[in-house]
Amino acid sequence: MRDIRTLILLIDMIRGFYDIGNLVNKRMANIIPNIVKLLENMETEDEVILLGDCHDTDDREFQIFPPHCIKGTEETKIIDELSVPFIKARGTYIPKKTINSFDGTNLEEILLKWNPEQIIVVGVCADICVLNVAMNLMAKKSYKVIVPRYYIETYDAPNHPAEKFNEMAIEIMKTVGVKIVDRI
């Protein structure tokens, strides 16, 4: 057991949600510089975890979304801009197979071990995996969860206007007690 002050969760900041594959989302460019700075300004005792999709070819998620981030492919790798800051911060990588970061991962075990004073959640997609992990964190242990709004993004698609879904995700997170700030 080791109490830490701040844990940063990077959600799906991997190439399959940015620049290669079926779920390319250039809106991620809006948040990358902010997240790079966040990692560069980390205190040495803080920790960062990358939770990234790493699917088997027959995962049930592919009944809903086109195939993406298959294990062993470039799509599962951290995006180029974050690679060096993540290594410098000695980040921990946790592969995941669903939109729920707790599903089949050791995230809960790590949280119990590190007992963070606050958890900062950043990444994509604001209304899917970011929202899901923030809700779960609040439900499990009433962690102090902070989401800086200019560090999360979602995608534009028919019936899925990004701006609106970003705002909805933020409002829902506020409702369950997540602290929303502009920047951090």
Type of residue found at 110: I
Listed ranges 45-53, 84-92, 123-131, 136-144: which one lies at the site for Zn ion (CB under 5 A): 45-53
Q: Could you tell me the smallest distance in angstroms from the CB atom of residue 76 to Zn ion?
A: 10
Q: Could you tell me the smallest distance in angstroms from the CB atom of residue 96 to Zn ion?
A: 8
Q: Which is nearer to Zn ion, 46 or 53 (CB)?
A: 53
What does 52-91 look like in DSSP terms, one character per residue?
Answer: EE-B-TT-GGGGTS----BTTSGGGSBPHHHHHHHHHTT-
Q: Could you tell me the smallest distance in angstroms from the CB atom of residue 123 to Zn ion?
A: 13
Q: Which is nearer to Zn ion, 39 or 134 (CB)?
A: 134
Segments in the chain forming alpha helices (H): 32-40, 80-88, 107-114, 131-141, 162-175
CA distances for 82 relative to 40, 46, 91, 95, 123, angstroms: 10, 17, 11, 17, 12
Q: Which is nearer to Zn ion, 44 or 63 (CB)?
A: 63
46-65 residues in contact with Zn ion (CB under 5 A) are: 53, 61
Q: Could you tell me the smallest distance in angstroms from the CB atom of residue 55 to Zn ion?
A: 6
Q: Which residue is nearest to Zn ion (CB)?
A: 53
Q: How far apart are CA 128 and CA 173, in angstroms?
A: 12
Interface ranges with Zn ion (CB under 5 A): 53, 61
